[in-house]
Amino acid sequence: MVRGEGCGMSVTDVDAGCAQAIDARREIPCLQVNPEIFFAEDPEDIDVAKALCRRCPRRVACLDDALQRREPWGVWGGELFSGGRVVSQKRPRGRPRKERVV
C-alpha cells in the first residue's frame, strides 16, 4: 500500500498543508527563541517571556492547557506558574530573612 493512499489528498494538498504549518510556526514566539527563557530565574527574563506570549495567537489556548495540566513551573500563556498555580512573581531562592532589613 502506498503511504497516504485512499486519504483523498493530492501532493498539492499536502504541500499546501505543510506551507500553512510552517507559516503558523513563524507566528508562535516560543518556537523562535531559546526555550530556557520561559523557565528563567531572573525576573527580567521572566518579563521578556511574558511579553513574547502577549503577541502569540495561541496564548489563550496555551494558558488553558497549562492550567489543566497544572504546570509545575515556567511561563505559559503569558502567566508565571509555580507549583501548578499562576503566581504574580517568582520567589527568590533561599530562605526568607528572619529580620526585616532597615
Q: What's the pLDDT tens digit per position in 4-43? A: 444 555 555 555 555 555 556 677 899 989 999 999 999 9
Q: Would the annotation count 56 as a binding residue?
A: yes
- Structure-block grid coordinates of residue 92: 527568590
Q: How far apart are CA 50 and CA 47, in angstroms?
A: 5
Q: Residue ranges per domain, the chain?
A: 34-90
Place of cell 509555580: 82
Backbone angles phi, psi at 5, to 5 degrees: -60, 130
Q: Would the annotation count 18 as a binding residue?
A: no
pLDDT category of residue 98 using cuts at 50, 70 and 90: confident
Interior CA angle at 24 toward 76 and 88, to 5°?
15
Q: Would the annotation count 62 as a binding residue?
A: yes
The verdict on pTM exceeding 0.75 is: no
